Amino acid sequence: MHHHPPASLAAVILSSLPFLLTGPPVTAHNITTILATFPDFSTFNHYLTITHLANEINTRNTITVCAVNNAAMSDLVNKHLSVYAMKNVLSLHVLLDYFGAKKLHEITNGNALTATMFQATGTPSGSSGFVNITDLKGGKVGFGSIDSGKTDATFVKTLHENAYNISVIHISSVLQSSEAEAPTSGPAVVNIISLMSTHGCKNFADALLASDAVNTYTGNIEGGLTIFCPKDDAFKQFQPKFKNLTVGGKQSLLEYHGVPVYQSLSMLRSSNGLMNTLATDGASKYDFTVQNDGQDVTIMTSIVTSRIVGTLTDKQPLVIFTIDKVLMPKELFKKVVSLAPVPAPEADAPTTSETPKSLKNKHKSPPAPASLESPADAPNDASADQEADSNNVVEIKGFKIGAMVLSFWFAYLVM
């Protein structure tokens, strides 16, 4: 006789089939956020960011990051590797398999050979991009690149584990690899001046070329650079204000249009908020706010709001956007507000509850809004306003004098 499971149990089993077949849902991780809670790993975290390796780690699942602390990173930093060679070395520390603390101490046959993100790039020859993990005496676990042929570091402790998704562990030293440290030629340096000049931003490019700001721009390309380039019409309208700036002011304004990290359009849409620029020197200096409205992205200063209208190039680590207005920082420009006419002094105000007819409907339209233009650019209506105010005072005084005469005449009749 066959026994069938209750209907409710069968329903539970059927509802669990997708989970059983596909496994638990993958939880997104952010290696920068994880390491930010461990100040002693700030140098390692910093170089993951500027080499853009952090972004690549965040898109992968089932990985192990072998982090080294600030003291261990000092020897590597002192080698002054290019940003590309540094990325190769750090890629060697990202294993393409999950190794939590338990798995490390249960390595089959005492050792395991695992591929790394460096090997996945196709740059290393042979097996140079692999790391050997060895179960050592005394319960220690060793790590060494195949390139070095020896144990370079040992397991210290676990920093973060999200089972079978990401493991972040502390190892004692940087893994050695002559291939990873070898000089690496990065992508061809883009001539940003030529690119902007031939794509509708010649005025801005010419101003940049004539300033020391151009060195700031080119010096930041390798580590990541985002440029917001005003279109020719926008910069032409701004030219009179630009000419009035000092040499230092011009350089600051030009550097204000660059951000020292790579930010694609999709990244800008998902990272609204304050952003530092190449001109930033200290907190709350020369920053602006990024805000998106659907697919549109705007750059807002306290003086002007500009919109991204196009992309000249987007090839990591460089992206150049075109914008429809020149970005004006509050450190160089002040918002000038057009004031409404000043009302008559209270001493001359009517004493009765009713308002004289001549004062009603005096201003049929609301006060003028705040203006960004300089006083010299605004229409001069001061004389007309002053004349109107003078007439109001005369009428008010006449009303008060008339009331006084009537009150005396009434008193005389009563007597």
Q: In this predicted model, what pLDDT tens digit does every residue of 187-208 receive, in sequence order? A: 555 789 999 999 999 999 999 9
Angle between helix axes 83-91 and 42-50 (nearest 10 degrees) is: 120
User: Using N-to-C axis directions, what is the helix angle for 42-50 and 70-77, rounded to 10°?
Assistant: 50
- For residue 407, give the 3-state DSSP assignment: helix
Does residue 176 sit within a domain? yes
Q: pLDDT, tens digit, for every residue of 10-43?
A: 443 334 444 334 444 445 789 999 999 999 999 9
Decide which of 181, 206, 230 is a domain's last residue. Answer: 181
Q: 350: cis peptide before it, omega within 30°?
A: no
Nearest alpha-carbon partner for 298 in 277, 262, 269: 269
Tell whether 2 is covered by a domain: no
Residues 187-224, buried b or exposed e (16+ Cβ, 10 A)? Answer: eeebebbebbbebbbbbbbebbeebebbebbeebbbeb
Look at residue 187 in the predicted model and tell me its pLDDT: 58
Considering the domain boundaries, does residue 319 fall inside one?
yes
162 plus 207 within the same structural domain: no
Q: Does 374 fall in a domain?
A: yes
- What confidence score (pLDDT) does residue 317 get? 84
- Distance (Å, rounded) from C-alpha 323 to C-alpha 331? 20
* Per-residue burial over 251-264, b = 16 or more CB atoms within 10 Å of its CB, e = otherwise: bbbbbbbbbbbbbe
Are 283 and 401 part of one and the same domain? no
Q: What percent of the chain has pLDDT over 70?
A: 72
Whether 95 is covered by a domain: the verdict is: yes
Q: Residue 315 — pLDDT band, cuts 50, 70, 90?
A: confident
The residue among 239 and 186 whose pLDDT is bigger is 239
- Residue range 311-338: mean pLDDT, rounded: 87
Do residues 133 and 202 both lie within one domain?
Answer: no
Query: Of the candidates 122, 149, 181, which is a domain's last residue?
Result: 181
Q: Does residue 39 sit in the same domain as residue 151?
A: yes
Domain with 393, as residue range(s), is 346-414
Kindly state the average pLDDT of the residues 164-182: 94
Q: Does position 362 have pLDDT exceeding 80, yes or no?
A: no
In a shared domain, residues 51 and 154: yes
304 and 372 fall within a common domain:
no
Percent of the chain with pLDDT over 90: 51
What sign does the dihedral 398-400-406-411 (CA atoms) show?
Answer: negative
Instruction: Report whether pLDDT(300) > 70.
Output: yes
Q: How far apart are CA 34 and CA 63, in angstroms?
A: 14
Whether 341 maps to a domain, the answer reads: no
Closest CA to 305 of 296, 315, 313, 294: 296
pLDDT tens for 327-353 read 999 999 987 555 555 555 554 444 433
Which residue, 127, 151, 181, sits at the end of a domain? Answer: 181
d(CA 12, CA 100): 32
Same domain flag for 161 and 256: no
The SS3 assignment for 131 reads: strand
70 and 24, same structural domain? Answer: yes
pLDDT of 189 reads 58
The domain total for the chain is 3
Nearest Cα to Cα of residue 348 among 390, 386, 388: 390
Whether residue 309 sits in one domain with residue 199: yes
Instruction: Please report whether residue 84 resides in a domain.
Output: yes
Q: What's the CATH number where 276 sits? A: 2.30.180.10
- Do 80 and 165 fall within a single domain? yes
141 and 228 together in one domain: no
pLDDT at 287 over 80: yes
* Same-domain check for residues 172 and 197: no
H/E element, 14: helix 7-22
Q: Give a yes or no: residue 317 inside a domain.
A: yes
Using 50, 70 and 90 to split pLDDT, how confident is the model at 105? confident
Q: In the predicted model, what is the mean pLDDT of the chain?
A: 78
